[in-house]
Amino acid sequence: MSDYQSYMKGSPLEVKVISARFGVPNPTAIDTYLAHEGYQALAKAIQMGPEAVINEVKNSQLRGRGGAGFNTGLKWSFVPKSTDKPKYVVCNADESEPATCKDRPLMEYDPHQLIEGTAIAGYAIGAHQGYIFIRGEYRYLMDIIDRAIAEAYGRGYLGRNIQGSGFDFDLCTHTGAGAYECGEETALLNSLEGLRGYPRVKPPFPAVVGVYGCPTIVNNVETLCNVPHIVLKGAEWFAGLGTPKNGGTRLFCLSGHINRPGVYELAMGFPLRQMIEDVGGGIPGGRKLKSVIPGGSSCPLLTADEIDVPMDFDSMAKIGSMLGSGGVVMIDEDACMVKVAQRIMKFYAHESCGWCIPCREGTAWLKALLDRLHGGGGLPGDPDTALDASYNILGKSLCPLGDAAAMPTISIVKKFRSEFDDHIRLGKCPFERKAVAVAV
């Protein structure tokens, strides 16, 4: 279990949609869910018909919460209507993007919301089987979801002829066993087929050729959790919560150097500065903010001067970064940015699946280079070499993992170049002296 208090500190600025039921007693029981509008959206969806559900979700401007930000309804509409093949819906609960811990509370505190969202997605695309792919480390969450699924079967919200509607939908969990790459949807599908989690070449996209060669929709946990609310309250209401083309809310996970780390549900487009200062309570110890990772470690980092920005997909793209996965990391003035770059690259070098050369070789070389730089053995040309190597990964790898390694590195080298130069000039890390454990 996670410590509810450390994740759900709450803020008056929150707009609670998908986290509205968090904190109710006995949260995982189906009776609790049914007492709070549970499974009403599934019944409504079945009355509406698949086409209307897809249109509603499309118009709601719900965009993929895993990080890519693609319009969910549009993704569903790519599934071929006339096909003899079975169709599948796969929930991506392989939450592994560094700094992201939002799918965890969604599964822990409201598992039926996810089950209902997945069943509606299945109904919309004409699937009769769903899988919830959960990272192996989240075993206690798989147990929670398994129990909730069993309850839903028991009450006729899963299985054959759901609530007498004629719609059949089976759902089960599937555990991963430790691989960041499996969060990429085609790698996830290979893993679901019992193979190594190597990405597939796109096109064809999973909506046409997915798991077992059949049309498949892969959606993130948070994405699917929004679906019942859209069906019940309508596309217009949902779109109105956010900014143009960015419907709804977002679970933001504030971590790092922040006074009140936690998961907060805020309207899409919430200003980053206010998120840090008012929701997160600012930077500990009166220190100054130096940098922000805005949406998981795959995003280009921001400087403290760049935080006057609405947190939605398009505004973040406009300033050259990404909204990503909702993992927002604050980094204060005493932290070493070379060390941050080094740690991020250590992650990608470890997680690169090795399938394509730019990513496999590039991340390993960059890790060695950044180790050397932070260790004080850097040469004057090293920062430029780091940029050069990053640009030789960017856009050249088979899947987004390569880009995810290159983008933060490029941003750190460019925006914090003087810190790299200081390491080279001094022959050591100028921050080591200040680096103390700040577990507050």
Partner 1 sequence: MLSDALISKFDQVIARYPLKRSAIVPLLLFAQDEIGYISDEAIDEIARRVEVRPIEVVEDIGYYSMLHRQPVGKHNFQVCTNVSCQLRGGEEILEHCSQRLGIGHKQTTPDGLFSLEEVECLGACCGAPAMQVNYDFYENLTPERVDRLIAELRANGKP
- For partner 1, which residue of 139, 160, 202, 414 counts as binding (CB under 8 A)? 139
The DSSP element (H or E) to which 48 belongs, if any, is: helix 40-48
177, 317, 368, 426: which one binds partner 1 (CB under 8 A): 177
Among 1, 25, 84, 166, binds partner 1 (CB under 8 A): 1
Least CB distance from residue 56 to partner 1, whole Å? 30
> Of 431, 420, 336, 428, nearest to 380 (Cα)?
420
Q: Of 437, 347, 439, which is closest to residue 401 (Cα–Cα)? A: 347
- Is 302 among the residues that bind partner 1 (CB under 8 A)? no
The only residue of 116, 184, 185, 351 in contact with partner 1, by rule CB under 8 A: 351
Q: Does 432 bind partner 1 (CB under 8 A)?
A: no
Q: Does 135 bind partner 1 (CB under 8 A)?
A: yes
91 sits near partner 1 (criterion: CB under 8 A) = no
User: Of the two residues 231 and 293, which places its CB atom closer to partner 1 in the complex?
Assistant: 293
Q: Is residue 431 within the footprint of partner 1 (CB under 8 A)?
A: no
18-21, Cβ contacts within 8 angstroms, sequence gap of 24 or more: 18/106, 18/110, 18/113, 18/222, 18/225, 18/226, 18/229, 18/249, 18/251, 18/265, 19/105, 19/106, 19/109, 19/110, 19/251, 19/263, 19/265, 21/109, 21/110, 21/113
Site size toward partner 1, by CB under 8 A? 63
Of 400, 368, 401, which is closest to residue 386 (Cα–Cα)? 368
Out of 89, 331, 338, 369, the residue judged to bind partner 1 by CB under 8 A: 331
2 makes contact with partner 1 (CB under 8 A): yes
- Please check whether residue 11 is in contact with residue 277, taking contact to mean a CB–CB distance below 8 angstroms: no
The neighbouring-strand residues paired with 249 are: 267
Strand intervals (E) in 200-312: 216-220, 249-256, 262-267, 270-271, 289-293, 302-303, 310-311
115 Cβ contact list (under 8 Å, min separation 6): 145, 148, 149, 152, 157, 158, 171
Contact status, residue 342 vs residue 371, Cβ threshold 8 Å: yes
HSE of 126, CA atoms in CB hemisphere, 13 A: 15
Helix, coil or strand: residue 92? strand
CA torsion 395-397-400-402 (nearest 10°) is -90
Among 186, 223, 243, 255, binds partner 1 (CB under 8 A): 255
What are 90's strand-pairing partners? 131, 218
For position 180 contacting partner 1 by CB under 8 A, the verdict is: yes
Q: Which C-beta is closer to partner 1: that of 219 or that of 297?
A: 297
Among residues 254, 234, 238, which one has the least CA distance to residue 246? Answer: 238
Residue 15 CB coordination number (10 Å): 17
- Least distance to partner 1 from the beta carbon of 12, Å? 19
Rule CB under 8 A: say whether 290 interacts with partner 1.
no
Position among 21, 63, 87, 104 found at the interface with partner 1 (CB under 8 A): 104
416 contributes a contact to partner 1 by CB under 8 A? no
Please identify, among the stretches 59-67, 73-81, 187-195, 223-231, the one whose residues bind partner 1 according to the rule CB under 8 A.
Answer: 187-195
Tell me which of 31, 51, 193, 308 binds partner 1, using CB under 8 A: 193
- Tokens matching residue 303: 């400087």
**CB closer to partner 1 out of 164 and 286:** 286
For residue 150, the surrounding DSSP H or E stretch is helix 139-154
Check binding of 121 to partner 1 (CB under 8 A).
no
When asked if residue 254 is in the footprint of partner 1 (CB under 8 A), the reply is yes
Q: How far is the CB of 2 from partner 1 (least distance, A)?
A: 6
Q: From the CB of 211, what's the least distance to partner 1, in Å?
A: 8
Return the number of the residue (9 or 245) whose C-beta is nearest partner 1: 9
Assess 137 for contact with partner 1 (CB under 8 A).
yes
CB atoms within 10 A of CB 241: 20
Least Å distance, CB 267 to partner 1, is 20
- Give the separation between CA 134 and CA 90, rounded to whole angstroms: 10
Does 350 bind partner 1 (CB under 8 A)? Our answer is: yes
Nearer to partner 1, 256 or 362 (CB): 256
> Among 127, 152, 289, 293, which residue sits at the site for partner 1 (rule: CB under 8 A)?
293
Helix (H) or strand (E) holding 129: strand 129-134
Which one of residues 64, 228, 261, 269 is an interface residue with partner 1 (CB under 8 A)? 261
Contact footprint for partner 1 (CB under 8 A) = 1-3, 6-7, 86, 95-101, 103-104, 135-140, 172, 174-180, 191-197, 212, 253-257, 261-263, 293, 297, 327, 329, 331, 335, 339-340, 343-344, 347, 350-351, 353, 437-440
